[in-house]
Amino acid sequence: MALESSADDTCVAIVDHKKHIFSNVVIKQHAIHRQYGGIHPSVAIRAHQENMPHAIRKALCEANMKMPNIDGIAFTRGPGMGGCLSVSMNAAKALAAAHEKPIIGVHHMQGHALTPQLTNGDEMDGYPFLTLLISGGHTMIALVRSATVFKIMASTVDIAIGNAFDKAARLLGVVPDPGKGYGHALEAFCRTGDEAGEPAHLPTAGRPTFAPLSYSIPNPHQPSQFSYAGLTSAVQRALRDDTVDKQGIARAFQNAAFAQLIHKLNNAIQECQRDGVSIQAVVVSGGVASNLTLRQRLRETAFVGVNGKPPPRFIFPPPELCTDNAAMIAWASMHRFLQHDFDDYSIQPLATWDLESIGAQNEGALS
């Protein structure tokens, strides 16, 4: 059984080592945070505290199991909002202590990165693979050498891409469907209206003249750095003109956000190939990876291979397992449960936690 409450979803899942997902409960909080313009920490903690017992009951019922059927309890140790992480951790410790079960604390982004091993088993072909982790709090390209050895090749210098989608959607006044978030709503908004219409032209940060936002790639001299703050500011500036075509702006925002991902990913693929690292696949995971326009664009892009080597395949988990869930936490804990490598009951949550530090041995260089 795994428990996850690092942000605004209360999640409990039951999974076995044969990759069977017996239950996967997600209780979302989108609606209660809408009035705050983001996740309100104390409101999120209270909602997790209320929802966690229901999520645990529901996960056991849907799996038709009772606690004696459970062999161990995993929980998201970090990174995330400290108080929110504590809800899962305390529930896991209490359940484990009462039922004499082992516990394991898991890195949330390790969960996102390893999800396709659980869901896309046939496509996954061992290590190393590259992962593009795009979510509410992260924008990252990492080389995954094993379940615990990650090398971060790129990350964001300011806000994460998912956060930028949320901000842009709110600025554009897009209303999410019940149970869905702003990112999903912005993607849907881009699909409506006349797609063949004139593309929006927006001023890019620091430029005196108008330039198409879709060509704006911040920090072109730092190929390993993502940046999304300027893009949301560009949307904000463009909306000062109330006659502007909002769908055009939304599409220009989405295009620019994805152009940056594709640009850096291409660099990372080439860097790996130049260093002789044979990449099995590129795993695209995290909430933004549920965006179907991005999936299509990545598949259509002619990524460049080096020295005649073909570019790697793309692997996407099912959209519902790209956003937060506890099945991914259960799976990321599995190799440790199987090795009886348990955590002590005194373990504490980590609001910040370097993905490169989770492995016992940490490689500094690519090769």
Which residues lie near ligand ATP (CB under 6 A)? 6-7, 80, 108, 112, 135-138, 162-163, 165-166, 181-184, 187, 286-288, 290-291, 323-324
Q: How far is the CB of 266 from ligand ATP (least distance, A)?
A: 21
- DSSP letter string, 238-251: HTTSTTS-HHHHHH
Place of tokens 């260089």: 365
For helices 82-99 and 41-63, the axis angle rounded to 10 degrees is: 30
Identity (one letter) of the amino acid at 176? P
What is the smallest separation between the CB atom of 142 and ligand ATP, expressed in angstroms? 13
Q: Whose structure tokens read 């609001």?
A: 351
Q: Which does 128 bind (CB under 5 to 8 A by kind): Fe ion, ligand ATP, none?
A: none
Residue whose CB is nearest to ligand ATP in the complex, by number: 287
Residue closer to ligand ATP (CB basis): 80 or 248: 80
Closer residue to ligand ATP in complex, CB, 75/272: 75
Q: Which does 291 bind (CB under 5 to 8 A by kind): ligand ATP, Fe ion, none?
A: ligand ATP
**Closer residue to ligand ATP in complex, CB, 179/220:** 179
What minimum distance in Å lies between the beta carbon of 98 and ligand ATP?
A: 28
| 287 vs 312, beta carbon nearer ligand ATP | 287
Residues 6+ apart with CB under 8 A from 237: 202, 203
Pairing mode, if any, of strands 129-134 and 281-285? parallel
Question: With respect to ligand ATP, which residue has the nearer C-beta, 114 or 272?
Answer: 114
d(CA 363, CA 367) in angstroms, rounded, equals: 8
Least Å distance, CB 266 to Fe ion, is: 25
Q: Are strands 139-144 and 73-78 parallel, antiparallel or unpaired?
A: unpaired
The site for Fe ion (CB under 5 A) is made up of 135, 324
Closest CA to 81 of 108, 56, 112: 108
User: What pairs with residue 3 in β-bridges?
Assistant: 12, 75
